[in-house]
Amino acid sequence: MRFPIRPLILFAFMSYFLGACSGVKFSQNLECEKNGTCVVQNGKAVYPAQDYTVDGGKVDVLMVDDNSASMSFEQNRMSARFNQFIQNLENKGVNYRIAFTTTDISSSQNAARAINGNGALQDGKLIALSSGKKFLSKEDGDLAAKTTIFKTAIERKETLSCETFINNWMSSGKTTSDASYSTEYYNNCPSGDERGIYAANLVTKNNPDGFLRDDADFHIIFLSDEDERSQLYLYGGQYSLEDMDKGKTLASTIRTTFPSKTFGIHPIITADAYCLPIQNQQMSGIVSGTYGTEYNNARKEALSIVNAERSQKGLAAVKMVLGDICLNDYAGQLTEIFDNVVGPIVDSYAIKCSNPEGLNITVSTSDSSISHELVGNVIKFNKKLPVGTRVSVSSYSCPAE
C-alpha cells in the first residue's frame, strides 16, 4: 500500500502508529479490533508493511501586507521576486495556498469607506484576487499568470493613491498642519495605524473563505516598515496594545486554534539601526518607520513554542526568518523563508513500540549517505529525506512486556 508523506507534519501523520504497545493481550485485541491497524497473533500486535513516498506536503501562506503610505516601494520589491518563491514551491511538489490581508483594522476613527474597499480591505479579510479567488494556488495557470495575480495583490492601489495624495499636497505648498489635511488624509488613505498582528490573529481565529486547511502547515509573512500601531503604544492612550496586537498572543492563538499544526512566522521589517533612518527619509519625512518589535516578538514566541515541541520529540530546532525591509533585493530572504516553509523535510518516523520484532526499514534514494537508527519507538534518519525518497517499513510485531 502506498501513501504520500507530508514532510512538514510527519509526526502528526504518523501519530497513527505512535505509542508504546501494551503488554496486555486484551488491550492489543481491543486496539486492533477498534482501529483495524493491526492483528493479534500469539499475544502480539502485528502491524502491516507500509510504503511511503516523501512529497512536498501542503502549506498555507498568509501575506500580511502593510498598505499604508510609504509602502509602495517595498511592495514592488516583494512583487519582483516572489515568482521564484512560487516556482520553488512547485519544483518541490508543494500543494500551496497563498492569501493576502492588510494591516488595516476598523475602529471608530477608521470606519469602512471607499479607500479601504468599504471594509473589504479591513479586519483580516482576505483580499479578492484578479483570478476571482481569495487565495493563490498551483491550479491558477502557469508561472506568468500566478506572478501577475501575486503582483496585483501585493502592490496595493490604495497605498499608491495615499502616497500620491501626500506628494501632491506637499508639492502644492501646503503642510500637514493645515486644517483640512486630516479630513483629506482620511478620504484618500487607508489606516496609518498598522495592526498586522491583529489582522493575522483574526485570520487564524476566523479562517475566512476556508483558507486554512486542517492538514496543511501554516506560515505567515509580514511586510511592514513600522511596528504594530507604529509604536505609539509606548505612550499609552488610545494606541495602547490590545491583546490581539501582541506578538506573543498571535503565536499562542495559532497553537490553541491548531494544536498539532506546524507553523512559522517570518517578519520582513525595520530590524536594525541601518534601516531605520532609511525608512524615516521616505515621503519627505512625513511618514517615519519604526523597529518592528512586536512582529519580531511574534517570531520569537513562535520559535519558542515550535522548538520546545520538537525538542520533546528529539527533533532538531527550526529557524524562522527575520527579514530586512531595507534590502534592495528580497531574493535572498525569500529563499530563506522558502527553505523554512518547506522544511524540515522528513527526518524521523514513529512506530508503535520500542522493541519491535521483524522490523526492516528500506530507504530508496539517490543519496547513499542516508542512514537510520531506532531510538525508542522512533526511527531517526541522519539527515532530512529529500522529496521523492521512498521509505518501506516491513511488517513488525510488538511483543508483550
pLDDT confidence tier of residue 286, bands split at 50, 70 and 90: confident
So what CATH class is 58-341? alpha beta
Joined together, the cell numbers standing for residue 219 give 506560515
CA-wise closest residue to 89 among 159, 147, 40, 151: 147
pTM equals: 0.78
| All CATH 3.40.50.410 domain ranges in the chain, comma separated | 58-341
Residues 104, 121 contacting (CB under 8 angstroms): yes
Q: What percent of the chain stands above pLDDT 70?
A: 90
Cβ burial, residue 208 (10 Å; 0-12/13-18/19+): middle
Asked if residues 54 and 143 have their Cβ atoms less than 8 Å apart, the reply is no
pLDDT of 13: 37
User: For the CA atoms of the chain, what is the radius of gyration?
Assistant: 25
- Distance between CA atoms of 340 and 90, rounded to whole angstroms? 15
Does residue 277 carry a pLDDT above 50? yes
CB atoms within 10 A of CB 371: 10
Residue type, 270: T
Q: Which residues contact 185 (CB under 8 A, 6 or more apart)?
A: 162, 165, 166, 192
Residue type, 347: D
Residues 384, 345 contacting (CB under 8 angstroms): yes
pLDDT category at 23 given cuts 50, 70, 90 is very low
Spatial contact of 216 and 58, defined as CB atoms under 8 Å apart: yes
N- to C-terminal Cα distance for the chain? 30
Q: pLDDT per residue over 327-338, tens digit each?
A: 989 999 999 999
